[in-house]
Structure 1
């Protein structure tokens, strides 16, 4: 009997040590799905979210392509290797902005677009903080330095305004901010705002319809489109 008890005690202690070792090895990281199941679906905190919002209310993340919500996403029709943005509706909207810029304003080169940036490398009091939540992109920041205006020609500005109007105000251009950043385009809705999903659904429908979507847009210089763009510009001023 004592031998059986000793054996059971040894096995119990061994299992406890192994379990503790497994938990320690994943400390601060997200467990793989199979490991979580083995541990009884235990909820282990992830390591990318910061718990702090960017200026537009979306949560910032410490890293991209690392198990969080921010990943490198393709931008079809451009030479870009991809852009790091928050997946889902935000990805759909921001990729559309980049595509229209490429097709209608000026062709982009491989490294012309910046997406996610690490918290602590940006100014939290400015709209550039939205980069850290994957809800913004900077297009050619070297061409349009932060704090300066006048980087776009007048005909290019017409197209910028038309892009924003098509997106129904869910994206704001940094050139309209008190501290201008003409390279910056960012989501201007809080999380759970239904307008973002509605616009993203519209863009996905356009992308699946011949003659619609980025690269096949209506003429932004048409009077009715100019008026719509100007109305939005006044509202976002």
Structure 2
């Protein structure tokens, strides 16, 4: 059977799940005599691998969105979009979140919390939770789509506010402003959960992409990003934090 080059590349992408810079999956086949001809034969190993990848994806898929519009998944680290990711510079060995832009944003938030709000210990952060373990109608349901994390959930009971000192909340407000509205704090919800932070934009958000790119750029510059020298009391940052606070409190 012959297939187009575009079809081959699409199936190869399915097999790998994510692109790897500088390396195309199965690139050795692109240099083969069969590929050079007008028609070429798709290797059986690629067909089989693509079939297995689709089966894994189907096994974790729910086709049901969480409250913020992202699809909930049945498991993590099982071939879906939610995987355990490292949190550099902290004792947190890994947190289960949606890979890609969501991961970039939530990991940045956790790191700043650790550096500036309160030092975290292993086990302090909970990411993905099974759809059967969350109340889907509440913001905590976003954890089932890998788009939310809870930081020390046992310390901040549902419906209770005032769990942070003023200087700690000042940092939280600065983090939310820095993330430009793509993350919401559960402490601002009508049914407060001060341990919860979740993505507050839809899957097709270009704004999320812009914020993630900004954070990725900072990671390549000394003194930028989480752990960098930040004056959260500067008039500019205080004004931005206040503006974001007023905006998010009015959209509960």
Band the TM-score falls in, shorter-chain normalisation: 0.7 to 0.9
Per the alignment, do residues 32 and 163 of structure 1 end up closer, same or farther by CA in structure 2, a change over 3 Å counting?
Answer: closer
Structure 2 unaligned spans of 5+:
1-13, 17-43
Alignment map for 1:144-159 (pairs within 5 Å):
144-159=156-171
Give per-residue Cα distances to partners, 1:3-50, cap 9 Å, x unaligned.
xxxxxxxxxxxxxxxxxxxxxxxxxxxx97865614996965621010
Counterpart of 2:112 in structure 1 is: 100
Counterpart of 2:192 in structure 1 is: 180
Tell me how far 1:110 sits from its aligned partner.
0.4
Distance, in Å, in 2 between the alignment partners of 1:102 and 1:171 is: 17
Tell me how far 1:221 sits from its aligned partner.
1.4
Distance, in Å, in 2 between the alignment partners of 1:74 and 1:41 is: 29
Match of 1:220 among 232, 240, 247: 232
What secondary structure is seen at the aligned counterpart in 2 of 1:190? coil
**Structure 1 runs of 4+ off > 3 angstroms?**
31-36, 38-45
Residue 37 of structure 1 pairs with residue 47 of structure 2 = yes
Per the alignment, do residues 39 and 88 of structure 1 end up closer, same or farther by CA in structure 2, a change over 3 Å counting?
Answer: closer
Tell me how far 1:65 sits from its aligned partner.
0.5
What secondary structure is seen at the aligned counterpart in 1 of 2:129? coil
TM-score (norm 1): 0.83
Distance, in Å, in 2 between the alignment partners of 1:60 and 1:82 is: 20
Match of 1:68 among 74, 80, 97: 80
Per the alignment, do residues 217 and 69 of structure 1 end up closer, same or farther by CA in structure 2, a change over 3 Å counting?
Answer: farther
Match of 1:190 among 188, 202, 210: 202
Match of 1:82 among 94, 100, 104: 94
Per the alignment, do residues 40 and 90 of structure 1 end up closer, same or farther by CA in structure 2, a change over 3 Å counting?
Answer: closer
Aligned residues: 207
Tell me how far 1:100 sits from its aligned partner.
0.1
Give per-residue Cα distances to partners, 1:110-150, cap 9 Å, x unaligned.
00000000001111111000000000000011111122111
Per the alignment, do residues 32 and 205 of structure 1 end up closer, same or farther by CA in structure 2, a change over 3 Å counting?
Answer: closer
Distance, in Å, in 2 between the alignment partners of 1:111 and 1:194 is: 32
Structure 1 unaligned spans of 5+:
1-30
Tell whether the 8 Å contact from 2:148 to 2:196 is kept in structure 1 after alignment. yes
Tell me how far 1:217 sits from its aligned partner.
4.3
TM-score (norm 2): 0.78
Counterpart of 2:178 in structure 1 is: 166
Over the aligned positions, Cα root-mean-square deviation in angstroms equals 1.9
